Structure 1
Amino acid sequence: MPKFTALGYADDQLVTRYDSNTEEGVPQVPWAKKMKEDIHEYWERYTKVLEDSERWFENYQSIIRQYYNHSKGFHTWQMMLGSEVSPYGSKDPYWTFGYDGRDFLNLDKETDTWIAADAVAQAIERMWEADSSMIPRFKFLVEVVFIEWLKKYEAYAKEALLRKETPVVKVTRKPNNDGTETLICRAYSFYPKEINSTWRKDGEASGQDTVRGGVLPNSDGTYYNWLSIKINPKDRNHYWCHVEHIGLEKPMDVPAEEPGSHMGIIIGCILGGIFFLAAMSTGIYVYITKKQGSGSSSGV
């Protein structure tokens, strides 16, 4: 595995990847590959930025390792940098660092100061506070560069990033040994990721005995979600799965299927017609890891 990896995201899509083995910014989705062909100089500049970042990361990892007295073992030095971008500029920018999976340093964007997690982070904080160019560089990235990137993405990514895939929703049931019944509501093949699914009894929200699964990715770029509830079988007809999603014309209430039924309920479809940059986000996620002591290196 490479010792240094940088991943670039637009919304929830992995757009670019750079690592110390390839030493090149590589597009990860079809529309980004087309963009590389059309605007090759952009990709050259992207690669140059990450080459410089790799050297910067290795230097600070060495310093941090010495502070922690980590002469051997596998250690991870991470950064996340990004912002939400609208036609009116960037908002909610973030810049945060981690070491070995723990919080290390976070930038407070309101005060332009660093929040350190421990004594080693405080030592790095003092170094960075002495460098008056660091925070202005961050602001230039999230307020200028990221907006420029997303404007370039606009013509190439509108169908991929702003598409709306409506959920297919199904409610099944299974008996329990104690005489109760479990209803399971599954929502399939939806995009974007944000979805709100709840149980309703006689039209009122019912969160008691609800178990929720996470929103999980499918291989085709859509998402899957589930939730269940334990009920008295006599009350089955009073329960509905309530689903809200941007791809729906209106929220849908879905009842439990009858035994032997395999009919899914396909909820109405809205196709995005106009590309609008609001609420798109972009970020760079950088990881550097190094196995110390033997001279070999590895990373994620």
Structure 2
Amino acid sequence: MKRIKVAIAAVVMSLCMNVSALAATDIGLNLDWKYAENSKINTGRARLYTSEAADKKNITIAVDAGHGTAGGEDVKILCHPDGSARADGSTICEAVPRGMTFQDKVTEADASLMVAESFKNKLLSEGYDVLMIRDGEDVQLDDVARAVLSNNKADCHISIHFNDSSSGVGAYYVSAPDKLKKLEPVSKYWNKSKKLGDSLISGLEANGVKISSGGSVEEDVVQTAYSSVISAYVKLGDKTADHSKEACDKYAEGLVLGVNKYYGFA
């Protein structure tokens, strides 16, 4: 009888695991979506996780672990949807930059993924659904595809990065320069995106994360330029930053505090 009970328990556990796996849905880029025609790397798939928490928020957060696209630095894309130039005159950008490497040889892509995975789990526990743009070591989605997927399948987009300096720079979010604020779709969303960025920095600071530059730095980045949902491009520190499992959990906790603050659940 005991063996039968053990066998039944194993079957039930297996079924539960399968049901849990079915809660995640893979989503590819639809080339008919607005701006998708500017994507050059788009064979990968994002993964949508549905929260099973009792307190469902009915809000989907796109979480982008920066970098992590093999060969992405060798492919070029338009920096802006309309092909206009950045302030420095450039119109073409790397599809997905390689990212930096920490002093201990851990890559920015790996550290960003650790933060993103912890962030995802905490968001799901809080009742948010999560669109994981990169759910593993590599995803063949360029920065245009990442933004466009978020535009169509999420309520907001948060991209996680680190800074490539070695001077002890803390966390900040990338705010849109004046020229970018005048372009579509940024002109419609930059005010709300600023509020999201400020909320995330507030959450990080409340959780003991060092903040630099008053919490924001102006920069023209592809994902911001293509975002037609509220978005935040966050850098959590530089090459000297702690990126241990404990530190990544700390960053994630701070980001969740920021999301809750933005949506009024704090």
What's the TM-score bracket when you normalise by the shorter of the two chains? under 0.3
Q: Which has the larger radius of gyration?
A: 1
- Bigger fraction of residues in helix: 2
- Bigger fraction of residues in strand: 1
